[in-house]
Structure 1
Amino acid sequence: MSTLLTRYPAYLQKGAEFADIQQALEPEVLALWQARDGMMEQLNVDSATWGLKYWEQALGIPVELAKPAAFRRSRVKSKLRGAGVTTVAMIQSVAESFSNGDVEVTELPERYRVEIEFVGSIGTPPNMEDLTAALGEIMPAHLGWDYVIIYKTWDGVKKNTWNELSAYTWQQVKESDLNG
């Protein structure tokens, strides 16, 4: 029995001609439903795939199909968040959209600068190049900014025993938050 046919009352389902028509229409209707669902996914930046290029074009962002979708999404989100007057909260929101972690922003008005500290992760966050470009678009021309990136120091590593660290590579030790 057809999926479409089950949507109709039982007295209509019993008619052979009606059932044949519904079976003939079913592949086309299902294709339309799938197309509709696919289109709806493109209207949300988090689920967009082929529709990312339209988001980028609408926001004046260069379309770079070779870049991963996650990076392209973060640029779109940053541009959307960066509309309006630049505030500390806006800078924080834009930086967090690229860093995948918490960010603290400190104003340094006497130096005409802003400090952006990546407190939610250890090591250099991904996609720093695009973050810098996004900040260049939203920051007033008279303000500069500095990044503060947290790394594991030797003092922090020394707090662990060799047995505790033997399961990790040196790169993992430097970028982890192992009890220190």
Structure 2
Amino acid sequence: MNDIWFRQNKVNILKYLPYFLFKDKEYKNTGDACSKEHERIRLLIKDCLNQFFVETATWGLDLWEQFLGLPIDKNTDYKTRRAKILSRMNNRQNVTLSFVNYLINLFVADKTGYAVEYPEKYLLEIMLPDNRVTDFKALEDILDIYIPAHIGWKYISYVQPGTGEETEIDGIKTTANPIYIGGAMTSYFYTEIPADTIYEISDMEGVQCNVIGVIKTADIINIPADYTI
């Protein structure tokens, strides 16, 4: 939505009047009160205007979903609800590879998902960056609606750390890197104590586990799909 025509800055009606009027306390207080009310109305108008466009709608998403026959789920975030609405509004679009890419990226946070077609196999490979899909169920529902019934598809997840060799497929740039997985290897001890033996734990204090090699250690961190790094 382009609202450049709409007032963007905070309302101050006194700036349109001669400066010497500000010196009068009562006049200035009256002007400030009027400016505050005008600003409140400006924000209300701007908020209502936002509801006319899916990309900026918030509380108006309920009306869009009702109009399109979609379930109203206020527990879902705005981005996912907008994506579902936009995908439903494109029901007259020809299903080309570019359009499929558009549908996929409605539910991919960084817009790097894409499809690879194999016409001779009647197959689409849906390439999805790992941990970047915002709603798998919504994505599958949309693909069910738009992809012809005789075309099958499968998901392929790939890791895109952001460095490495860059490639471009159907206008979408992606990068690929090898994944290195390591671990810590340690020695261990085994002590057999006969059932009829009297012993104390202190007798084992001198025994310890020694690390004999470390390749790589790491923690698992879950980053939400729409989180900006």
Residue number in structure 1 paired with 2:117 = 107
Amino acid at match of 2:113: V
Q: Does 1:129 align with 2:180?
A: no
The C-alpha deviation readout for 1:88-126, integer Å capped at 9, x for no partner, is 0000111012122412312222333322112xx225733
Contact 1:106 / 1:114 at 8 angstroms: preserved in 2? yes
The runs of 5 or more residues in structure 1 that have no matched partner are 173-180
Tell me, in whole angstroms, the C-alpha distance in 2 between the residues paired with 1:138 and 1:81.
Answer: 9
Tell me, in whole angstroms, the C-alpha distance in 2 between the residues paired with 1:20 and 1:49.
Answer: 35
Q: Which has the larger helix fraction? A: 1
Tell me, in whole angstroms, the C-alpha distance in 1 between the residues paired with 2:66 and 2:79.
Answer: 17
The runs of 5 or more residues in structure 2 that have no matched partner are 1-10, 161-177, 185-213, 223-229
Residue number in structure 2 paired with 1:41 = 50
Q: Which has the larger strand fraction? A: 2
Which residue of 141, 149, 164 corresponds with 1:141? 149
Detail structure 1 runs of 4+ shifted over 4 Å in the superposition.
9-24, 80-83, 160-164
Matches within 5 A, 1:1-180: 3-9=12-18, 22=31, 25-80=34-89, 83-100=92-109, 101-118=111-128, 121-123=129-131, 125-150=133-158, 156-158=179-181, 165-169=216-220
Specify whether residues 13 and 83 from structure 1 end up closer, same or farther in structure 2 by C-alpha distance, changes over 3 A only.
farther
Specify whether residues 46 and 156 from structure 1 end up closer, same or farther in structure 2 by C-alpha distance, changes over 3 A only.
same
Give the TM-score of the pair, scaled to structure 1: 0.69
Identity of aligned residues (%): 24
Rg: which structure is higher?
Answer: 2
Specify whether residues 165 and 23 from structure 1 end up closer, same or farther in structure 2 by C-alpha distance, changes over 3 A only.
same
Specify whether residues 29 and 138 from structure 1 end up closer, same or farther in structure 2 by C-alpha distance, changes over 3 A only.
same
Amino acid at match of 2:122: Y
Specify whether residues 61 and 165 from structure 1 end up closer, same or farther in structure 2 by C-alpha distance, changes over 3 A only.
farther
Specify whether residues 167 and 113 from structure 1 end up closer, same or farther in structure 2 by C-alpha distance, changes over 3 A only.
closer
Specify whether residues 151 and 31 from structure 1 end up closer, same or farther in structure 2 by C-alpha distance, changes over 3 A only.
closer
Amino acid at match of 1:142: H
**CA RMSD of superposed structures (Å):** 3.5
Give the TM-score of the pair, scaled to structure 2: 0.57
Greater shift in the superposed pair: 102-111 or 77-86: 77-86
